Structure 1
Amino acid sequence: MSTVLTELPGATWRTVARVVLPADTDADALPLYVDYDHAVAAPASTETEAPTTGGTGQSAGAPAQFVSVPQESHAEDIRGRRGLVVRAGARASFATYFNAFPASYWRRWTSASAVRLRVLLEAEGTVTVYRSNARGLRQRVTSRAVAGGRPLELELSLASFGDGGWYWFDVSAGGQDTTLLEAEWQVTEPAGTRPRHDSPATLSIAVTTYNRPDFCLALLRSLAEAPDVREVLDEVLIMDQGDQLVQDQPGFAEVAEALGEQLRIVRQGNLGGSGGFARGMRETLRAGRSDYVLLLDDDIIVETEGILRALQFAASCRRPTIVGGHMFDMFDRSVLHSFGERVDLYRFFWGALPGLVERHDLGGRNLRATPWMHKRADVDYNGWWMCLIPVEVLREVGLSLPVFIKWDDAEYGLRAAEAGFPTVSLPGAAVWHVSWIDKDDSTDWQAYFHERNRIVAALLHSPYEHGGRIFRESVFTDVKHLISMQYSTEALRLMALEDVLAGPEHLLRTLPTRTAEVRALRKEFPDAKTSTDVDAFPAARRRKPPKKGKEPQSPNKFTLLPWAASVVARQLATAPAPEALQRPEGRLAAMDSTWWRLAHYDSAVVSTADGTAAAWYKRDPKRFRELLTKSAAAHRQLWQRWDELSKAYREQLPHFTSVEAWDTIFDASTISVERPGVRASVPAQQGGTTSPAGGGPRAVAGEGR
């Protein structure tokens, strides 16, 4: 089939993605919207490890290899959200994350067979259309001279995008400047098919926040100032679980008045991300108006056009589909955290899909120079920093797992897939999120949730006997923390194992209280007691220099077992040097405090991952022995009872993710429900009644309909 089609007879085209420019004309974010660089062929890089033939050239099956040749960019040429000046003799490409059309995703998941590009220029110019294949090879489709003020419309086939590929276009100016006034991508339903929704789809937005009122207010303001989003928005639900309230922020009243009845604040006790998002799901079902609920983190900047794209895509999918957005780094605006996530079922651990590059900088290597971004990434789940869920999925598979934080989003994606509902991470829908590269929440109070929730999710979904490799990794991680003198972390991991062994009933019972208990337990250990004062600890003095002047290196797979045996034996049998308990033997930066280095110290001052504080780790053979013994016993039980526990958790899953079970928690934790932008709103009373999912609005004080 030809790429360029004649106009489809009787087609009604619907805009699903508009070409946009950054709202704040941020030069750091500009490469995500418009590309002034050129992509040229280059030798194979280690990033994609493409094979070559005979040492020169690429093999037929190898990914394309390109590099970006930087050109001067012009943020000052932006004209609002949709306009861009293209200077005389220059070219601007929209082969970018936010403005290229992800054709393979529409080909795979929707009924669309073609896409129409519509471009309007102010003065004469040239529009050149390109496409790519799954290997990232660029192919010119057509080039058209465009008269000013007359829109160019091109119908383009989606037939050949089975495995990957994008469409994009460039605008070139001739002897005088031209301006892109607007451009958009449109699709149509094939003859004989009908959309999944009888009327235009709408959504509710659910935001969970805890003591980030400034971020949350900025997010609300961006939604209030997006009229196109407001047209499809039923309401924004803010689940405020902290004591620094968004309602108390300067400027909140103006934003609340602008949103009016579209804003509702739910104040409840701190039930974590899972409790906040489950409440958003529940309230959306209760209201009975929206087709989707969009989950958003509070500490984000959202590209509002991406909300519309996610909604249009979801409404076009052949079956109910979870549609997620990608995450960029808020403090490094062109850096993409991950292009697609999966759960490795053998390890039972999350991570990027094979072949993708984490923390990829699109400012340094644009879309045309990034071949792996052209193959469609089929994911297992999408993070709940931005995730659109159909209400049909909520009714079928239930609400979030009641786990406070960690693994709630990954488990939900696996659960939905088992029920026949896929997840798609849609290019062009994204947020900028506060980065976690300077955090290590696997060693602080969140270590409890990392361990417990990963094992619970494996009990629910692992297809492997004894969960595959998760048992071995759990044992190794315990030893790693112990030889690193991270006794508080190990104590929390043991608490997690004990809760798993207690059975699924503990999830609902402990949800409102376990976080406080975890924090309290951790405070009992010296490695959890930090100070921001750089002189709070004695100066470090090392008793013995490193062997041969070299710092310890990580053992390899051949030396790991004998190395571990000798280290554990030393930890058990040898008391720490008395002087090491009076003065640390070393001071280590967080990035240097690896387990194979800490294992050689009797004490050390270690910086926290964010660099704001430090703690004094001290070796304690008695505590080491006690925790190691408990770990062995707990893991022995987990191994012996795996099948029994897996059956129990799977049988109870429909109960502890049900609306009725969650309502019991919400009724006990609700502080108020109100519409602050509506005059004479009334705070909700504590508690309330329950109603079945999808059963229509529930009459609660402050929820007048």
Structure 2
Amino acid sequence: MSQQTTETVTRLLQRQILPIDKDTDVFALYVDLEEAKLDTSRHEVGGSKAAKDLNNAAIRQSTSTGRKLHPDQILSRTALRIPQGQQLSFGSYFNAFPASYWRRWTIVDKVRLTVTLKGRGASVTVYKSMAAGHSQRVDSGTVEGDSGTFEFDLTLIPFVDGGWYWYDVVAGDEDAVVESGEWTAQVPQDRAEHGSVDICITTMNRPDFCAKLLGQLGEDETLRPYLDTVFVMEQGSQPVTESEFFGEAEDLLGERLRVIVQGNLGGSGGYARGQLESVRKGTATYALMMDDDVVCEPEGVVRAVTFGDLAKRPTIVGGHMFSIYSRSRLHSFGEIVQPWRFWWQTRLDGYSDWDLAARNLRSSRWMHKRADVDFNGWFMCLIPRPVLEQIGLSLPLFIKWDDSEFGLRAKEAGFPTVTFPGAAVWHVPWTDKNDGVDWQSYFHQRNRFIAALLHSPYPRGGRMVRESLNHQIKHLASLQYSTAELRHLALEDILAGPQTLHSELPTKLSEINAFRKQFSDAQLHADREDFPPVRRKKPPKKGKSDIEIPSRIGTLVAAGLAPIRQLRPLRPLSREFPEAELPAMDAAWFNLVKYDSVVVSMNDGSSAALYKRDPELYRDLLKRTIEIHRRFSREWPRLAEQYRAALPEITSPEAWEKTFEPWLHESDTSSEPR
């Protein structure tokens, strides 16, 4: 009787890499010269709020000594020189192996690490960590001659909840060179070939940024075989094709590049066009959503494709986002939608805005537990074609919540999302934007409610309606009348039903901007001299600062009194002169409610607006706010049923084709090799 055998082949999962541009700001993401100083376990901290707060503050403290890698030590994309007697670790963001993710989501159950060293007496030691963060020595090897290649067979069985593999290298009596490090696995023959990817980039008036990104994608030799088509959805008045950097990118990408010109349909309209073109073409395994204002690590795309190829089922593979201005700062390690509030956030046992140059991976206990997510932002997100074919394309939301809603929709259909360590881009941080109170507040409000109507597990959206009412009153008390009006308009449009989402996509932004112009808090001025000087009849009480952060009791008192204060008569001079100036960092509601008029600067530091209290407008908006939230509370079940019934149709390729009709027959820019 013959025994059936399964043929396997060796497949590269991950390789040791070093920064392409030798930028010292990112060295900590590739190699680590610091010691591991693990923070205190939360189980040791206990349940006391004071103890938790103290521990959270301690965890944020830097453990870095400031030791730096010299750029000359980087010999190539994969080779690194280590001076005599020095030790460094590859237990870093881009070079540690995220074992628990491979264990949980893929068919791989064991890996082989192969490290090649030069330098007499150099040694390599392999470590692993568990979900609780503590590390264990696994194996080691030492160069006996001039060079040596070391192989370590490593199981993934112990990584059910979390944990990483990595290796440290110590130079001996002479300088050592770590020539390469590769993580491979035996996989079935039908998984031997890598998939291909269509990269979908939506751009608007960022020609240089976008063209440089295209150049990055085109010049990376490792990534090139994985690329099928790079779609650029051009929606602005400053085309990427007119950038001085576009010609070089076009030469590098050749016939793989397609620039598609269409009207401004927002991020969701741009990405949906890329998704539609990718599905129509049908030649790529994946469509990867990517923002235009990012710096990419091309190896991350390769890793995302490899992970997707070996996943147990079609899986959305997302990358992480680092700040483009402080390049070792990680935005979030994994995001969820909190179901009761229905708000996106970092997972509950994680941290946002984490500086890996200040506290490394091996010292950050929380990063060793696997982070399971609900969605991944579309700044970098790989979607298998079968997922798009089964659940449809993006919702027509213009901006905000399109990526998170898609992740929730995919999850309900049985397609998980994995935010995969080692795949990342550098992006403009959202903390530098003011999108909670500017024109984007309309889309925040409308799209969050639509996503909740579609996916909230609670009969009336959990806390959604109550929290919206609270936020609306907060904006009113903060003199942000344009924001309150836009949020109110968003709720009215939701009540009108889902049938207008596609038709309003090209026009809603211009309507919003025209509507906002009547409110002083929406009229931005770059020059401070455009505002009158600060004057007030009475100085601050006892000379106290107006920007002190109140205690918890003080916050509750302020929240109770703020709505009532808005009904009081205006103070003298406040109609002619602002009573104060507030920088963006101090423009919290508990400060804004103190004034009848105040100049407030924007988060990006480029402009300011004059906020002016208006008791009559406040009364009118407050009345309408209470009425519409009562209506939402009553009609939530009906609305949820209506939107859920419409979901398959409004996300279908056919519905999107109608929206794209004005631009479908326009010739796009398909690059030919020069």
TM-score by length of 1: 0.89
Write the distance in 1 (CA, Å) between the matches of 2:665 and 2:607.
35
- The 5 A counterparts of 1:98-247 are 98-124=94-120, 125-146=122-143, 147-189=145-187, 195=190, 199-247=193-241
- The 5 A counterparts of 1:244-283 are 244-283=238-277
Write the distance in 1 (CA, Å) between the matches of 2:324 and 2:365.
24
Deviation at 1:165, TM superposition (A): 0.5
Write the distance in 2 (CA, Å) between the matches of 1:270 and 1:333.
30
List per-residue Cα deviations over 1:440-484 (Å, max 9, x = no partner): 201000000000000000000001121111111100111111111
Structure 1 pair 671/250, CA: closer, same or farther in 2 (3 Å)? farther
Q: CA contact under 8 A between 1:234 and 1:262: conserved in structure 2?
A: yes
User: Is 1:22 paired with 2:26?
Assistant: no
Deviation at 1:557, TM superposition (A): 7.1
SS at match of 1:473: helix
1:598 matched to which residue of 2? 592
Structure 1 pair 516/69, CA: closer, same or farther in 2 (3 Å)? same
Q: CA contact under 8 A between 1:258 and 1:677: conserved in structure 2?
A: no
Q: CA contact under 8 A between 2:126 and 2:139: conserved in structure 1?
A: yes
Write the distance in 1 (CA, Å) between the matches of 2:667 and 2:76.
37
Q: CA contact under 8 A between 1:41 and 1:67: conserved in structure 2?
A: no
Deviation at 1:647, TM superposition (A): 0.2
Write the distance in 2 (CA, Å) between the matches of 1:368 and 1:645.
48
User: Is 1:453 paired with 2:453?
Assistant: no
SS at match of 1:266: strand
SS at match of 2:341: coil
In the alignment, residue 540 of structure 1 is paired with which amino acid?
V
Deviation at 1:672, TM superposition (A): 3.7
Write the distance in 2 (CA, Å) between the matches of 1:641 and 1:90.
67
- The 5 A counterparts of 1:361-440 are 361-440=355-434
SS at match of 1:610: coil
In the alignment, residue 181 of structure 2 is paired with which amino acid?
A
Write the distance in 2 (CA, Å) between the matches of 1:41 and 1:251.
45
List per-residue Cα deviations over 1:564-612 (Å, max 9, x = no partner): 454323323x231241101111111111111122112111111111111
Q: CA contact under 8 A between 1:261 and 1:675: conserved in structure 2?
A: no
SS at match of 2:31: coil
Q: How many residues align?
A: 656
Deviation at 1:641, TM superposition (A): 0.6
In the alignment, residue 158 of structure 1 is paired with which amino acid?
L
Alignment partner of 1:472 out of 455, 466, 469: 466
Deviation at 1:283, TM superposition (A): 0.5
Decide which moves more: 598-607 or 449-458: 598-607
Write the distance in 1 (CA, Å) between the matches of 2:578 and 2:375.
44
Deviation at 1:668, TM superposition (A): 2.2
Write the distance in 1 (CA, Å) between the matches of 2:372 and 2:673.
47
User: Is 1:571 paired with 2:566?
Assistant: yes
Deviation at 1:260, TM superposition (A): 1.1
In the alignment, residue 563 of structure 2 is paired with which amino acid?
V
User: Is 1:37 paired with 2:37?
Assistant: no
List per-residue Cα deviations over 1:241-264 (Å, max 9, x = no partner): 001011001132232122111000
Deviation at 1:141, TM superposition (A): 0.6
Write the distance in 1 (CA, Å) between the matches of 2:552 and 2:128.
45
SS at match of 1:250: coil
List per-residue Cα deviations over 1:105-163 (Å, max 9, x = no partner): 00000111101111112333211101100011011111101354542221111010000
Write the distance in 2 (CA, Å) between the matches of 1:295 and 1:41.
35
List per-residue Cα deviations over 1:629-676 (Å, max 9, x = no partner): 221221121111100000000000001111000010111245844344
TM-score by length of 2: 0.93
Alignment partner of 1:85 out of 81, 88, 101: 81
Structure 1 pair 245/14, CA: closer, same or farther in 2 (3 Å)? same
2:308 matched to which residue of 1? 314
User: Is 1:73 paired with 2:65?
Assistant: no
In the alignment, residue 566 of structure 2 is paired with which amino acid?
Q
Q: CA contact under 8 A between 1:39 and 1:69: conserved in structure 2?
A: no
SS at match of 1:313: helix
Write the distance in 2 (CA, Å) between the matches of 1:608 and 1:378.
34
Q: CA contact under 8 A between 1:38 and 1:71: conserved in structure 2?
A: no
Q: CA contact under 8 A between 1:130 and 1:142: conserved in structure 2?
A: yes
In the alignment, residue 471 of structure 2 is paired with which amino acid?
T
In the alignment, residue 75 of structure 1 is paired with which amino acid?
P
Q: CA contact under 8 A between 2:503 and 2:659: conserved in structure 1?
A: no
Alignment partner of 1:12 out of 6, 9, 12: 9
Identity of aligned residues (%): 48
Write the distance in 2 (CA, Å) between the matches of 1:493 and 1:49.
42
Structure 1 pair 489/122, CA: closer, same or farther in 2 (3 Å)? same
Which runs of 5 or more residues in structure 2 are unaligned?
A: 48-55
In the alignment, residue 203 of structure 1 is paired with which amino acid?
V
Alignment partner of 2:501 out of 496, 501, 507: 507
2:324 matched to which residue of 1? 330
List per-residue Cα deviations over 1:347-383 (Å, max 9, x = no partner): 0000100111111111011111111111100011101
In the alignment, residue 23 of structure 2 is paired with which amino acid?
D
Deviation at 1:69, TM superposition (A): 4.7
Q: CA contact under 8 A between 1:492 and 1:518: conserved in structure 2?
A: yes
Q: CA contact under 8 A between 2:547 and 2:586: conserved in structure 1?
A: no
SS at match of 2:139: strand
Write the distance in 1 (CA, Å) between the matches of 2:665 and 2:241.
14
Write the distance in 2 (CA, Å) between the matches of 1:472 and 1:536.
39
Q: CA contact under 8 A between 2:11 and 2:192: conserved in structure 1?
A: no
Write the distance in 1 (CA, Å) between the matches of 2:604 and 2:472.
23
Deviation at 1:560, TM superposition (A): 6.5
Write the distance in 2 (CA, Å) between the matches of 1:427 and 1:332.
19
Q: CA contact under 8 A between 1:19 and 1:184: conserved in structure 2?
A: yes
Structure 1 pair 291/679, CA: closer, same or farther in 2 (3 Å)? closer
Structure 1 pair 38/158, CA: closer, same or farther in 2 (3 Å)? same
Q: CA contact under 8 A between 1:209 and 1:298: conserved in structure 2?
A: yes
List per-residue Cα deviations over 1:270-303 (Å, max 9, x = no partner): 0111011111110000111001001100000110
Write the distance in 2 (CA, Å) between the matches of 1:41 and 1:346.
33
Structure 1 pair 516/78, CA: closer, same or farther in 2 (3 Å)? same
In the alignment, residue 179 of structure 2 is paired with which amino acid?
L
Write the distance in 2 (CA, Å) between the matches of 1:279 and 1:496.
25
In the alignment, residue 326 of structure 1 is paired with which amino acid?
H
Write the distance in 2 (CA, Å) between the matches of 1:292 and 1:385.
15
Q: CA contact under 8 A between 2:258 and 2:669: conserved in structure 1?
A: yes
In the alignment, residue 506 of structure 1 is paired with which amino acid?
T
In the alignment, residue 80 of structure 1 is paired with which amino acid?
S
Write the distance in 2 (CA, Å) between the matches of 1:86 and 1:39.
19
User: Is 1:651 paired with 2:645?
Assistant: yes
Q: CA contact under 8 A between 1:606 and 1:614: conserved in structure 2?
A: yes
Decide which moves more: 245-254 or 408-417: 245-254
- The 5 A counterparts of 1:518-557 are 518-550=512-544, 551=546
Write the distance in 2 (CA, Å) between the matches of 1:471 and 1:52.
34
